[in-house]
Amino acid sequence: MSTFLIKRFLGKDKDEKRRLSAKACRSALFIYLYKGYPLLHLPYELMVSLLEIDELMATWRTRHMNMVFRMIGARVGTGNSSGRGYLKAALDKHYIFNELAGLNGLLIPRRDLPELPSELEKSLGFRG
């Protein structure tokens, strides 16, 4: 198993860059991989909606950064910030759900997923 996967899903929660706990990452991965089960469809849709919010906020920040550059150019911004440079750094730093977005990069074919225990599979369906 790669060090990325071990750190992300099995690691301890001591990393300061981490916004979600290892347990939350494992849960999100489970939902992402087994989203075809009826009980996991709504949690999956929630994860997608959170990523869309993150993307819309990044779009707003980008437009705001461009507007600031058009208005003040390379001059100093409010609070003696570097203006556009400060906003660019904030854009890169303030993704809230980047750990959820990282799940999309894990390409695991459905045929390689472990089969769920029959009792769990039954509870994830419409009829328990």
Question: pTM value?
Answer: 0.67
pLDDT tens digit string along 71-99? Answer: 777 666 666 666 667 777 777 777 777 77
What is the DSSP track for 53-64? Answer: HHHHHHHHHHHH
As a whole number of angstroms, the distance between CA 114 and CA 107 comes to 14
Through-space distance between the first and last CA atoms of the chain, rounded to whole angstroms: 34
Q: Where are the domains of the chain?
A: 3-123
Q: At 47, list the tokens.
A: 């994860």
